[in-house]
Amino acid sequence: MKRYIFRLILMFVVVFPLHSFSQQGNDTMIVIGNSTMKIDTVRNLFNKKVAMIKQEDRQRNYYQGIRPEQLWVHYAGNMGMFSFGPAWDWGKKRQFETGFLLGYIPKFSSDSPKMTLTFKFNYIPYKFLDGEKISYTPFYTGFYTSTVFGHEFWTYQSQDYPKKYYHFSTNTRWNIFVGQQISHIFSQNKILPLRRVTYFSELSTDDYRLRHIAVNRKMKFKEMFTLSLGLRFERP
């Protein structure tokens, strides 16, 4: 507020006297010190200045807005042994969450360890038992697509194969999931800068599994779905 007043005074002192020479009409005039000017001009200039300041504030808020809200840590779930990355929540009720996860797969029986990159989208329709300290969501859903990097994986088959030989991509998997989560909500005066820690488990299936489900009738539960566990840390 102080700033507005200061700038307004500055405007009156510096800008208005200059304008007062050029603008003289029959409309209502305003007298500032030795100079006079139209009331409309003053209003216009004032509005312009306020808009400018608002724009600055909005930009500052925008940079605040794209700062990640959450940190996600995942275990398993077709996106590496462990994966972590920034995430944002958005929507009127903060019901959507979007995140990028970088994952790591150890070597195991293959010849090299691998990295994965995952884009994940959550939709949390409602929070059942939403308390002050703890909240529980029995159902939420969403999808993610995870890409594994390595020379042995491709999005499109290489030129060496006959045309349209492999009609699928080996490096990118599309997954859909359902999950449940428990949130622990912290009070303001904690040492860690955390508002909320969420523990979740998700049951997901990918396009490979869906194909197997489509062609086989008798599939076991563990062949159809895969589990993942994780944590979400939210900043205040």
User: Which residues form the interface with another protein (CB under 8 A)?
Assistant: 75-81, 105-111, 114, 116, 134, 146, 148, 152-153, 160-162, 166, 168, 170, 173, 182, 201, 206, 208, 211-212, 215-219, 222-223, 225-229
- Report the C-alpha dihedral over residues 207, 208, 214, 219, rounded to 10 degrees: -120
For the CB of residue 192, give the shortest distance to another protein in the complex, in Å: 20
Cα angle: 67, vertex 68, 72; to 5 degrees? 170
For the CB of residue 48, give the shortest distance to another protein in the complex, in Å: 57
Q: Which CB sits closer to another protein, 41 or 118?
A: 118
Q: Which CB sits closer to another protein, 11 or 182?
A: 182
Q: Which CB sits closer to another protein, 90 or 149?
A: 149
For the CB of residue 172, give the shortest distance to another protein in the complex, in Å: 11
For the CB of residue 222, give the shortest distance to another protein in the complex, in Å: 5
From the number of C-beta atoms within 10 Å of its C-beta (0-12, 13-18, 19+), residue 78 rates as: buried
Q: Which CB sits closer to another protein, 52 or 219?
A: 219
For the CB of residue 8, give the shortest distance to another protein in the complex, in Å: 54
- Report the C-alpha dihedral over residues 184, 139, 211, 222, rounded to 10 degrees: 60
Q: Which CB sits closer to another protein, 46 or 174?
A: 174
